[in-house]
């Protein structure tokens, strides 16, 4: 019995590149929405009547639901069907975008933003899972993941450019309306072109307890991180929020260890490549999320850029990121993900360090642009191998779960990093103002402090990848060894035949060592 069943719902033979194009557009739409709204916030506040305290929830409502349901969405794609979840997520996302665009009240807009987040949580892991089950592990998948990585990295910067243009030329409502034609096109093409696939051989019964615990636990953690700067890191509410999320997440692990058909089989973490890549992504996201936030504030509040000019300023970053991702996919084909990832993170660390050179009277071309270019080269090199590493060796029936784990660690890492770095920046700004600095100098002092910590986080991610990530290429004989192991596992004398598996593995590795050419 095969791991994945492809239902005969699609009589039209479609090339894998067409499938990649469809899911890439969907992912672009989801990533775009996470940043395109930023530049529209002042206009939304004026037209809808948001208070200063509630305006941030236009962003937080999306982030909270998106981050909370990613893992559940990934596993649901494996269980219920990846095409089905993908289409359902796009439909929900596009419909919620329409409601956002016509909203006349705070409550309507915030509820619709939460629905957008839920749609995105269904789309992202399902889309990546479709890529993993469409392209075979190796050069083909690496090239597909290069496209995916470029979209994930460049979507945020493109969102700022597009958002600035839309707000300046049309209105903030079109920030949401642009999702409608893209969503409609994806839905039409997905229904015609995507074949259904799901994990087969799963026993009846759903892990409702585990699903509830991980969803509420992740939401509690993201919510606490979002509010930590307002509450204070040592406040009772922050400590209670962290304690509640910890209890729920520990309870989730307890449930998974005992459930007959768990939502997240803990065996997946025995995949060293996946576990190391997810841990590395946590630190990378913590560093990356601050770039768009603090750099945008620097451009607008210190250099005086408007929304459109800020978006244009990010264009070199987007183009460099795309080019670097394409180059990384070719290099990974010749090497393994580990050296490319480590080198990319080291280059990105230099880029973060260059951001610490920002000055109150600095210029874009001399200080901001070089930092953007160097950082984009490094992150473009990192996104592709980290995605490959997080999905290498993952069984087809777990592809949605692996996708959900990668997206969840990215979202939690980004929320954690932004909360911590915002607290550092705010403290430095306050101290500088109390010391008599000008507003521009105080802001720059706060932002550069955040970039110092971001550089440290990125360097720590490079060290983590270097230490934990496997470096040996998966050779064809490994598949032969796996075949022997599967055959042995099925034989009646499996406990005794296990020695044959170890002997076969040892023999192949000795042969490789002897046959390997000497330098």
Residue 482: name the closest of 503, 509, 505 by CA: 505
Q: Is residue 128 part of a domain?
A: yes
Higher confidence at residue 426 or residue 11? 426
Q: Are residues 171 and 63 in the same domain?
A: yes
> How do residues 182-221 score in pLDDT, each as one tens digit?
889 889 888 887 777 766 655 555 667 777 887 888 778 8
Domain boundary among 219, 244, 262: 262
Q: Are residues 275 and 252 in the same domain?
A: no
Q: Is residue 410 part of a domain?
A: yes
Q: Are residues 349 and 255 in the same domain?
A: no
Q: How far apart are CA 501 and CA 488, in angstroms?
A: 7
Q: Is residue 203 part of a domain?
A: no
Most confident of 71-75, 78-82, 97-101, 311-315: 97-101
Positive or negative, the Cα torsion across 185, 186, 190, 191?
A: negative
Q: Is residue 202 part of a domain?
A: no
Q: Are residues 250 and 115 in the same domain?
A: no
Q: Are residues 381 and 271 in the same domain?
A: yes
Q: Are residues 294 and 409 in the same domain?
A: yes
Does this model's pTM top 0.75? Answer: no
For residue 230, the enclosing domain spans 208-262
Positive or negative, the Cα torsion across 467, 469, 474, 479?
A: positive
104 phi and psi, to 5 degrees? -120, 0
> How do residues 483-499 score in pLDDT, each as one tens digit?
323 333 333 333 333 32
Domain boundary among 246, 262, 278: 262
Q: Are residues 429 and 292 in the same domain?
A: yes
Q: Are residues 257 and 305 in the same domain?
A: no
Q: Are residues 326 and 407 in the same domain?
A: yes
Q: Is residue 4 part of a domain?
A: no
Q: How far apart are CA 146 and CA 271, in angstroms?
A: 22
Residue 486: per-residue pLDDT: 33
Q: How far apart are CA 7 and CA 13, in angstroms?
A: 13
Q: Are residues 215 and 246 in the same domain?
A: yes
Q: Is residue 392 part of a domain?
A: yes
Q: Are residues 50 and 100 in the same domain?
A: yes
Q: Are residues 457 and 510 in the same domain?
A: no
Burial of residue 328 (number of CB atoms within 10 Å: 0-12, 13-18, 19+): buried
Q: How far apart are CA 60 and CA 222, in angstroms?
A: 9
Determine which helix (DSSP H) or strand (DSSP E) holds 466, and give its type and residue range.
helix 439-468
Q: At what angle do helices 16-36 and 106-134 cross, to 10 degrees?
A: 150
Residue 186 structure tokens: 């994806």
Q: If you average pLDDT over residues 7-32, what whole number do you get?
A: 70
* Stretch among 10-24, 88-102, 378-392, 401-415 having the lowest mean pLDDT: 10-24
Residue 472: per-residue pLDDT: 55
Higher confidence at residue 518 or residue 131? 131
Q: Give rounded-to-5 percent helix, strand, coil for the chain.
A: 80, 0, 15
**Domains: count for the chain:** 3
**Coil, helix or strand at residue 6:** strand
Domain boundary among 262, 282, 298: 262
Residue 157 belongs to domain with CATH number: 1.20.1250.20
CA-atom Rg of the chain in angstroms: 23
Q: Is residue 441 part of a domain?
A: yes
Q: Is residue 1 part of a domain?
A: no
């Amino acid at each position: 019995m095969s791991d994945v069943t492809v239902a005969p719902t699609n009589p039209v033979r479609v090339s894998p590149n067409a499938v990649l194009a469809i899911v890439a557009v969907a992912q672009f739409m989801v990533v775009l929405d996470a940043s395109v709204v930023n530049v529209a916030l002042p206009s939304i506040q004026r037209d809808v009547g948001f208070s200063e305290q509630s305006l941030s929830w236009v962003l937080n409502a999306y982030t909270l639901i998106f981050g909370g349901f990613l893992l559940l969405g990934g596993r649901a794609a494996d269980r219920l069907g990846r095409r089905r979840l993908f289409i359902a997520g796009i439909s929900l996302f596009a419909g919620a975008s329409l409601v956002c665009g016509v909203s006349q009240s705070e409550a309507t807009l915030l509820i619709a933003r939460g629905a957008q987040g839920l749609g995105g949580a269904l789309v992202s892991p399902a889309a990546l899972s479709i890529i993993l089950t469409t392209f075979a592990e190796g050069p083909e998948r690496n090239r597909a993941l290069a496209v995916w990585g470029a979209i994930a990295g460049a979507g945020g910067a493109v969102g700022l450019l597009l958002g600035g243009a839309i707000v300046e030329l049309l209105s903030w409502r079109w920030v949401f309306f642009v999702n409608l034609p893209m969503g409609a096109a994806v839905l039409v093409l997905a229904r015609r072109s995507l074949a259904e696939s799901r994990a087969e051989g799963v026993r009846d019964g759903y892990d409702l307890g585990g699903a509830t615990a991980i969803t509420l636990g992740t939401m509690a953690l993201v919510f606490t991180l979002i509010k930590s700067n307002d509450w204070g890191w040592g406040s009772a509410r922050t400590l209670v929020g962290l304690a509640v999320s910890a209890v729920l997440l520990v309870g989730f692990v307890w449930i998974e260890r005992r459930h007959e058909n768990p939502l997240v089989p803990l065996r997946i973490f025995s995949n060293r490549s996946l576990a190391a890549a997810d841990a590395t992504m946590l630190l990378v996201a913590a560093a990356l999320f601050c770039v768009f936030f603090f750099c945008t504030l620097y451009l607008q509040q210190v250099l005086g850029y408007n929304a459109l000019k800020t978006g244009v300023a990010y264009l070199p970053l987007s183009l460099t990121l795309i080019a670097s991702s394409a180059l990384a996919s070719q290099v990974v084909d010749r090497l393994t993900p580990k050296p490319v990832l480590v080198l990319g993170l080291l280059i990105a660390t230099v880029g973060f360090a260059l951001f610490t050179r920002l000055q109150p009277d600095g210029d874009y071309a001399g200080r901001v642009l070089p930092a953007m270019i160097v950082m984009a080269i490094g992150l473009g090199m990192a996104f592709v191998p980290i995605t490959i590493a997080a999905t290498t060796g993952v069984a087809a029936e777990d592809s949605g779960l692996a996708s959900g784990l990668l997206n969840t660690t990215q979202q939690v890492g980004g929320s954690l990093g932004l909360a911590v770095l915002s607290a550092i920046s705010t403290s430095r700004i306050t101290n500088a103002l109390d010391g008599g600095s000008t507003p521009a100098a105080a802001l720059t002092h706060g932002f550069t402090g955040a970039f110092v910590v971001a550089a440290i986080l990125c360097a720590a991610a490079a060290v983590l990848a270097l230490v934990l990530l496997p470096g040996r290429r998966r050779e064809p004989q490994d598949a032969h060894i796996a075949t022997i192991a599967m055959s042995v596992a099925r034989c009646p004398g499996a406990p005794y035949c296990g020695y044959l598996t170890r002997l076969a593995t040892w023999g192949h590795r000795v042969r490789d060592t002897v046959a390997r050419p000497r330098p």
